[in-house]
Structure 1
Amino acid sequence: MSKLQLIATAPMGLEAIVARELKELGYEDTRTENGRVNFTGGPEDICRTNLWLRSAGRILINMGRFKATTFDELFEGTKALDWPDWIPADGEFPVNGRSHKSQLTSVPAVQGVVKKAVVDSLKAKYGTEWFPEDGGKYVIEITLLNDEALLTLDTSGSGLHKRGYRLASTEAPIRETMAAALVQLSRWRPERPLYDPFCGSGTILVEAAMIGWNIAPGLRRSFDSEGWQRLTRKMWDDAREEAYDSVRDDVPLQIAGSDIDPYAIEIAEAAIKRAGFAKDIKVNVLPVAKAKPIGDYGVIITNPPYGERLGDDKEAEAALRQFGLTTLHYPTWSVFAISPSTLVEHYMGRQADKKRKLFNGRIQCDFYQFFGPLPPRERSHV
C-alpha cells in the first residue's frame, strides 16, 4: 500500500519539538512548515502518532494541495481528490475552513463549494443522490494560503491536548501539549527532582510524570478515526498494546508542586489521581516564598502568574519577585519559566541562558531557561 501524506499540527514555536518527537518514533522524512510537520506513513501510523505525540495539536491526512484562485478551480480540485477512499456512504463529513492572503476570502462560501465537490465525488462512487451522514465522523478542513488550497481529513477529533485526566481547570491553565513541550525543552530526566511553585491545576507535573514513565499521552482517550473503515480494530489494538508495553511505571519519580490557591490544589489533586500518579506527585497549598523543593540538581518548570491571567499586575509582579528570591536558595537547580513579562530576568538577577518565543494560548511569551550545573554523574558523561 502506498504511503499516506500525514500532518502533525503544531502550536507556533513548537514545530521543532513535534518534529523531534516524530523522529524519536521512527519517522525520518519530516518536513516542517509554519504550524505543521509533514511526514509519511501507513494507516497504522495514524493510530501510533495519535497515541504518542505529546506536543502536537492533531494528526491530519493531507488529501491534496492545488492552486485555487476561483471557485471553479476550488470545486474541480476538490472533486478530483480520493474522498471515497476514506468516506463511506454513511460517513458524516462537516467542512471547516480558513482563508489567509487569498482571493477566495469568504470562508462560508469556500466551505460550501468544498462540501458540494465532495458530495459529487461520493455520488459518482456510491450511485446515490442522498447521504444520511449518520456514520463515522470525517472532518474535512480547507485551508487557503496565498491562493493555494490544502485539503485535509482530521483523524484526531478533539485536539490531542485533551488527554482525559483533567476534568476541571483553573482560570487560565496551560495546555497539556504546551506543558509537555516545556518539559521536553528542559534538561529534566526522571532521576532528577522536578518542582512547579505555581502549579495551578498540576498540568506540568502530570505531563512530566507521563514522560518519566513513558506513558503515551493518548492512551486514555478515543479518536474520531477509531470509527473509520480504513483503520481496522487490529491497528488500534496493536498501537495500544505497543503503548501499554512501553510503560515504565517502576521508575521512581521526584515530582512535586505548590500553589497559593487552595482551589487550584484541589483541582490538581483530582487530575493527578485521575492520571494515576496519586502516590508519585505531591502538591501543597503554599505561597512561592515558602516553596521547598527537595533535593539537589533539580529542575523548576513553571508558568508564573501574570497580569492578564491574574487580573492584577502588582500582585503578579510581587509573585515574580518572590520567585526570583526563592530560586537563590537552590543554586544547583535549573529554572524554566514561560511568561509574557519582560521582568523575569530582572527578578532572577541574571540573563537567561536561552530564550525561546512561544505562544501560551494567544499570548506571546518567552520561555526563559536558566541552566544550573548538571548532576555529577551526567557531567562525567559530557
Structure 2
Amino acid sequence: MTEFKLLATAAMGLEAIVADEVKGLGFETQTENGKVFYHGDESAIAKSNLWLRTADRVKIIAGEFQALTFDELFEQTKAIEWEKFLPVDANFPVQGKSVKSKLYSVPDCQALVKKAIVERLKKAYHRNSFLDESGAKYKIEVSILKDQVQLSIDTSGAGLHKRGYRTGQGEAPIKETLAAALVKLTRWSPDRPFADPFCGSGTIPIEAAMIGQNIAPGYNREFDSEYWPWMKQKIWDDIRLEAEEAADYDQPLDITGTDIDHRMIDIAKANAMEAGFADLIQFGQRQVRDFKAEGLSGVAVGNLPYGERIGDIEKIEEIIQDMGRVFEKYPTWSVYMLSAAENFEELYGRKATKKRKLFNGFIKTDFYQFWGERPNQR
C-alpha cells in the first residue's frame, strides 16, 4: 500500500481533541491551527473517515511548496505526479483560499492549478484533447498562506459532521462534530446519567449515545474516496466490519434530552429514531427550572440559546440563573455549558472549575465546566 501525508481539519479550539482521536487510531500527529497532520495508507483514509468524530474532513496532501509568481505556481503544480491520484476520467473541481500572499487572486490561482493538472494528466495519459471528467470526484484545494502553497485532495466529500441521521433541525443547530467534542471534553462514561437541558434537535444526546455504544460516526454514510479506483472496496468492507464488531449495542444508556419547544422535541425524536436510538434516549418538553436529576455523578451538557435582541438576552440570562439554582441541588453532577454570555459565571452563581474557548460556527463562545463532587465526598 502507498503511504500518504494526511490532514484532518479541525474547527478552531478542537485541534487537540482531533489529534487525540487520530492518535487513538494508531497514528503519530503534528498539529497546527485547524490542522492535524499524520501519515497513513489507504486503510488509514477509510478508518479516519469512518471513526473521526470531531474532525471536519480528511485530506491527502498532494504537494507543498513556495510560490511567489503565477509561473512558479503553475510549474510546481504541474511537477506533482497527479496521475498517482487521479485517473484519466477524474472529475476534479478546484477550490482555493489565499491569505497574506503575493498570489492573492483566488480565482486566478484556482484556474491556474486546474490548467496545470490538466496539462500533467494529458501528458501522463497520452491525450491531446480535453479530459471529459466523467468519473469519480476528487475535490482539490489550493491553499496559500504567506506564499506557502498546499495542494490537497478531499477524501471525505460531504463534511464529516454529516452523519446521516439528521432528518430535521432548528434555526441554529450545533454541528455534530462540535457536539461530539463537547461530550468528549466531559470524559463522560456510559455508566453515568447524561442530560442535555437544551437539546434542540437532539444532536448532543445522539452523539453521546454513539460514543457510549462505541458506534463509528461515519458508519451509515458514503465518502468520495469510496469511488476512487485505487481505494479497493475490500478496504472499506474490512473497516466497516471492524466498526460493526467494535460497536457495543448492548451497553445500557441513561440519556435524556429536554427542551422548552415541543416542536424541537418532535424533531429530536425523529433524529434519534433515524440514528437507531429511539428507545435509548428519553426526550421531553421541559424548562430548565423544572429539571430533575436521577442518579449520582451525572453529567449535564448543553448548548445555550444565543440572543441578539435585548428581550432575548434578558430571557437567556434568566435561564442561566434558573439553571444555577437547579444544579445547586445536585452537587455531585458535573455541568458543562457552551455559551456566548460573557457574564455566565456571575449569572450561574459559581465560578467555573475550568473554561475553554470554542467557536460555534463563527460565534465565539466559552465552554464552562463545573465539576461535581464525588458521591463519597457527600
- Amino acid paired to 2:79: A
* Superposition TM-score, scaled by structure 2 size: 0.97
Structure 1 stretches of 5 or more lacking a match?
A: none
- Amino acid paired to 1:328: E
Aligned-partner SS, 1:45: helix
- Name whichever of 301-310 and 30-39 sits farther off: 301-310
Structure 2 stretches of 5 or more lacking a match?
A: none
**Counterpart of 1:118?**
117
**Counterpart of 1:365?**
365
**Counterpart of 2:314?**
314
Aligned residues: 376
- Taking a change above 3 Å as real, the CA distance of residues 162 and 104 of structure 1, as seen in their structure-2 partners, is same
CA distance in 2, matches of 1:2, 1:233: 16
Q: In the TM superposition, what is the alpha-carbon distance from 1:187 to its structure 2 partner?
A: 2.6
CA distance in 2, matches of 1:39, 1:274: 33
CA distance in 1, matches of 2:310, 2:139: 36
Aligned-partner SS, 2:305: coil
Matches within 5 A, 1:255-266: 255-266=255-266
Matched, 1:84 2:71: no
Q: In the TM superposition, what is the alpha-carbon distance from 1:258 to its structure 2 partner?
A: 0.4
**Counterpart of 2:60?**
61
CA distance in 1, matches of 2:122, 2:273: 50
Aligned CA RMSD, in angstroms, stands at: 1.3
CA distance in 1, matches of 2:81, 2:44: 19
Matched, 1:107 2:143: no
CA distance in 2, matches of 1:261, 1:243: 35
CA distance in 2, matches of 1:47, 1:55: 16
Deviations 1:204-260 (A, max 9, x none): 000000000000000010001110011000001011001001000111101001000
Matches within 5 A, 1:238-317: 238-308=238-308, 312-317=312-317
Deviations 1:157-179 (A, max 9, x none): 00000000002101111100000
- Amino acid paired to 1:117: A
CA distance in 2, matches of 1:116, 1:308: 46
Q: Is the 8 A contact 2:357 2:365 kept in 1?
A: yes
CA distance in 2, matches of 1:322, 1:307: 17
CA distance in 2, matches of 1:44, 1:125: 26
CA distance in 1, matches of 2:68, 2:316: 48
CA distance in 1, matches of 2:269, 2:30: 39
- Name whichever of 309-318 and 108-117 sits farther off: 309-318
Q: In the TM superposition, what is the alpha-carbon distance from 1:295 to its structure 2 partner?
A: 1.3
Matches within 5 A, 1:36-55: 36-55=35-54
Q: Is the 8 A contact 2:164 2:221 kept in 1?
A: yes
Aligned-partner SS, 1:312: helix
Aligned-partner SS, 2:356: strand
Aligned-partner SS, 1:332: coil
Q: Is the 8 A contact 1:14 1:358 kept in 2?
A: yes
CA distance in 1, matches of 2:309, 2:237: 41
Identity %: 53
Q: Is the 8 A contact 2:321 2:349 kept in 1?
A: no
- Taking a change above 3 Å as real, the CA distance of residues 309 and 286 of structure 1, as seen in their structure-2 partners, is farther
- Amino acid paired to 2:11: P
Q: Is the 8 A contact 2:2 2:42 kept in 1?
A: no
- Taking a change above 3 Å as real, the CA distance of residues 232 and 195 of structure 1, as seen in their structure-2 partners, is same
Q: In the TM superposition, what is the alpha-carbon distance from 1:328 to its structure 2 partner?
A: 1.2
Aligned-partner SS, 2:364: strand
* Superposition TM-score, scaled by structure 1 size: 0.96
